[in-house]
Amino acid sequence: MQAANGEGEKVMLRELLRPIALTGLLILGACGESPTPIIGCEASAGIQPDCRFQNPEDLAVLPSNQGLLVSQFGGMDGAVAGNLVFYSPRDGRIEVLFPPTGAIIDDRSWGSAACEPPDAAAFAPHGIDLEQRADGRHVLLVVNHGLRESVEMLEVLEDAAGVTLEWRGCAEGPDQSFFNDVVASRDGGFWVTHMMPKDAQTSAMLKSALLGADSGFVYAWNQKRGFTMVAGSNGPFPNGIEKSADESHLFINMYIAGEVRKLNLATATVVAVADVASPDNVTWSTDGRLLVASHTDGFLELMACQGLEQGSCGFAFEIVALDPATMTGVAVVANRGAPMGAATVAVEYDGELYLGTFAGDRIARTSWNR
């Protein structure tokens, strides 16, 4: 299947990261030979790729366990569209679920009354989260950059005929918001990471990279209060986000700081920090650990991945399993180059890890050292 090619995302990231990359050259010196692009689709290093995707940046396991939902990353600046697909690793099926081929039904029961359905042709998904609501129904929250910064709310419906996603509302972000990842709360709301002001991206990134300055924070949203800033959540480039089972704590990945922070929501204090290089998305494993996708290569290789026209990025990564109580962790998967690099997420499915990426044509499957 063919999906959005992510060219707008590549251009925007290239512009954002150029000054940081130049700084990295001065500080780090030249890097080794680039492993990008990866053109072949053969298994190696215990990793089996499936090369039928386009920038599968985030993944979620369906409640029935029949497969995965995949966010095929569009342009972060909204210039390039993407979509949401169903993927069955067991039989290889891939099916586009959203946007639908027909009109999106205007059902605003879960979102803001003022938030209209997204423009299907411009829909540009990023981070996703699948949760069971208090009423027993399942919601897929989707960060959308298409023509607006919003969190879309889709109901996940499964039956013998397959999987469908039905739009149930959205919440459009405040002025200059710039979202990345999202996690649902039981009250029908969510928490979403705000990376930096949308109108001051380059300066915010530079200040974070060079001075360690905070560029963003986490928003909380529900139907009663709308968007409010989460006290204590500010940091350099908030990226992936998860919550504790009792919703007392958030785990926030600060990409530029190289930290996963555990935030106590009641006291608005960071109670623990794990040092993880450039942490991207984070999910829960079945044994109760946090699986954090970590980027471990240099700036030059990250820049090389922005110009991909085919194949996949070879950027070095690790999947780090963190104990949420002690915030100590161990790398359970690591790779650079073929058959896949630049992993942005790891989800556990059928006892193996499935990896997505922001730059490339593949999802990869691998065993892992528990």
Output the DSSP codes for 96-150: EEES-SSPPP---SSS-TTPPPP-GGG--EEEEEEEE-TTS-EEEEEEE-SSS-E
Q: Indicate the number of domains in the chain.
A: 1
CB count, 10 Å around CB of 147? 13
How far apart CA 285 and CA 322 sit, in angstroms, is 10
Residue 6 has pLDDT above 70, yes or no: no
256 assigned to some structural domain: yes
The token pair at 190 is 């969510």
Q: Give me the CATH number covering residue 326.
A: 2.120.10.30
pLDDT value at residue 9: 43
Average pLDDT of the residues in 110-133: 96
Torsion of CA 94, 95, 99, 102, to 10 degrees: 160
Residue 31 has pLDDT above 90, yes or no: no
Task: Confirm if 290 and 321 have CB atoms less than 8 A apart.
Answer: yes
Residue 148 has pLDDT above 70, yes or no: yes
Give residues with Cβ within 8 angstroms of 101, minimum separation 6. none
1 assigned to some structural domain: no
CB count, 10 Å around CB of 179? 23
**pTM for this predicted structure:** 0.91
191 assigned to some structural domain: yes
**Could you give phi then psi for residue 160, rounded to 5 degrees?**
-60, -25
Using CA of residue 118, residue 122, residue 128, residue 130, what is the dihedral sign? positive
pLDDT value at residue 183: 98
258 assigned to some structural domain: yes
Strands ordered across the beta sheet of 249-254: 238-243, 249-254, 259-264, 269-275
H/E stretch holding 221: strand 217-222
How far apart CA 309 and CA 20 sit, in angstroms, is 23
Residue count of the chain: 370
Residue 27 has pLDDT above 50, yes or no: no
Using CA of residue 305, residue 309, residue 314, residue 318, what is the dihedral sign? positive
Higher pLDDT, 35 or 244: 244
17 assigned to some structural domain: yes
Give residues with Cβ within 8 angstroms of 203, minimum separation 6. none
11 assigned to some structural domain: yes
Task: Provide the domain limits for residue 269.
Answer: 7-366
Rounded to the nearest integer, the mean pLDDT of the chain is 91
The SS3 assignment for 317 reads: strand
297 assigned to some structural domain: yes
